[in-house]
Amino acid sequence: MFLNEHLPDDTGDLKELILTISRLGKSIKDGFLLNQGVADTQNMYGETQVEMDKWADKVLVDGLRNLPFVASLSSEERDDVIYCSKDGRYSVTFDPLDGSSLMGINLTVGTIVGIFENPDPFRPGSEMVGAMYILYGPLTTLTYTIGKGIHEFVLDKDGNYLLQHENLIVGESKIYAPGALRKEWLPFHTRFIERMEKEGYKLRFCGSFVADVHQIIHKGGVFTYPASIGKDQGKLRLLFEANPMGFIIHHAGGSISNGDMDILKIIPEKLDQRVPIYIGGKKEISIVEEEKKKEASL
Ligand code: F6P
Ligand code: MN
């Protein structure tokens, strides 16, 4: 079954929006051979942009901004929200190319997208009506949810996305992907990781958030990019990384937390807001919240 057959017709423009993004994902994939250089500009986080970041951002903005049902676009690569159609219903937030520092060495990167039925993107992630990611690995895959399970498709040689997994559920394997510098971890986080290690969790961290979370969805376990000494909000971004992937994992039976609460309940205050992330199986997320609570009561 193809993506266009799988998406229900009664979602109105949401179906068209997701199909458009799926086609733009193919354009991004096709652009990899042409855009491998390093750009001499920086994004608002002070990171050097590789050419592909800018290319992927442009593909998405150019491909979405004139759709009559799109109210606003917010990209990790831009400093401001782009307001589009006055009559638009959907806000789209995206990280055009997550893990792009790995492009130069040919590791897996991806596009992460969140969709709100609200012209205002500063809404809690739980209000999203859809989220998806496109992973550019040995295969190009697209995983989406519109709140009814999560489903994975593979891009075939004719440019169609073919259903490969329906109703994916977070696996049972014991994997942990611990971000940030170990010497800067906070005590509760260290205790959490040590607990994982004692319980036989195996280390896997590739440096591409979207690929690491994809692995956790399929296999199980937990990805973390925690708060650390001097970085009390961690590294990853609430609107562009945490919320869409959190919404997806939530609909695969998992959860996402900042250590204290469900990230999907946070009301964003600014576009470039960062958040400490714990994302994975429900069991692992409850253990980290338990360790954090213990620390608060000491
Ligand atoms: O987008 C930020 C990002 O590239 C994520 O994809 C990844 O998980 C993280 O940064 C890796 O950070 P670090 O280089 O600190 O391990
Ligand atoms: Mn990213």
Tens digit of pLDDT per residue, the chain (298 long)?
A: 999 999 999 998 999 999 999 999 999 999 887 766 666 677 677 776 668 888 999 999 999 999 999 999 999 999 999 999 999 999 999 999 999 889 888 999 999 999 999 999 999 999 999 999 999 999 999 999 999 999 999 999 999 999 999 999 999 999 999 999 999 999 999 999 999 999 999 999 999 999 999 999 999 999 999 999 999 999 999 999 999 999 999 999 999 999 999 999 999 999 999 999 999 999 999 999 999 999 877 7
* Amino acid making up residue 170: V
Total domains in the fold of the chain: 2
Q: Which of 130, 165, 200 is the last residue of a domain?
A: 165
Q: How close is the Cα of 236 to the center of ligand 1, in Å?
A: 7
- Other C-beta atoms within 10 Å of 149: how many? 14
Closest ligand 1 atom to the C-alpha of 225?
Answer: 8
Nearest CA to ligand 1 atom 16: 207
Q: Are residues 219 and 143 in the same domain?
A: no
Q: Are residues 138 and 27 in the same domain?
A: yes
Predicted local confidence at residue 46, as pLDDT: 76
Q: How close is the Cα of 207 to the center of ligand 2, in Å?
A: 10
Q: Are residues 183 and 218 in the same domain?
A: yes
Any atom of ligand 1 within 6 Å of the Cβ of 99: yes
Within a domain: 151: yes
Cα separation, 39 vs 195, in Å, equals 42
Any atom of ligand 1 within 6 Å of the Cβ of 207: yes
Within a domain: 272: yes
Q: Are residues 233 and 137 in the same domain?
A: no
Torsion angle of the four alpha carbons 202, 177, 209, 180, in this order, in degrees rounded to the nearest 10:
-150
Closest ligand 1 atom to the C-alpha of 95?
Answer: 1
Tokens representing residue 14 in the block: 């949401």
Q: What CATH number should be reported for the domain holding residue 123?
A: 3.30.540.10
Q: Are residues 98 and 125 in the same domain?
A: yes
Cα separation, 112 vs 134, in Å, equals 7
Q: How close is the Cα of 268 to the center of ligand 2, in Å?
A: 17
Q: Are residues 97 and 50 in the same domain?
A: yes
Cα separation, 72 vs 146, in Å, equals 19
Neighbouring residues of 249: CB distance < 8 A, sequence distance ≥ 6: 170, 213, 216, 217, 255, 256, 279, 280
Q: Give the bridge partners for 48, in sequence order.
A: 42
Q: What CATH number should be reported for the domain holding residue 259?
A: 3.40.190.80
Q: Are residues 154 and 194 in the same domain?
A: no
Any atom of ligand 1 within 6 Å of the Cβ of 178: no
Predicted local confidence at residue 32, as pLDDT: 85
Closest ligand 1 atom to the C-alpha of 241?
Answer: 1
Predicted local confidence at residue 50, as pLDDT: 65
Q: Give the bridge partners for 264, in sequence order.
A: none
Q: Are residues 184 and 235 in the same domain?
A: yes
Predicted local confidence at residue 37, as pLDDT: 67
Nearest CA to ligand 1 atom 11: 207
Within a domain: 170: no
Within a domain: 76: yes
Supply the range of the domain harboring residue 270.
Answer: 175-297
Within a domain: 77: yes
Nearest CA to ligand 1 atom 15: 180
Predicted local confidence at residue 193, as pLDDT: 98
CB of 269 closer than 8 Å to CB of 173: no
Within a domain: 134: yes
Q: Are residues 198 and 290 in the same domain?
A: yes
Any atom of ligand 1 within 6 Å of the Cβ of 208: yes
C-alpha distance from residue 134 to each of 41, 87, 232, 244, 285 (Å)? 25, 28, 29, 12, 25
Q: Which of 165, 190, 222 is the last residue of a domain?
A: 165
Q: Are residues 212 and 261 in the same domain?
A: yes
Q: Are residues 50 and 110 in the same domain?
A: yes
Enter the pTM of the model: 0.96
Tokens representing residue 92 in the block: 């789209």
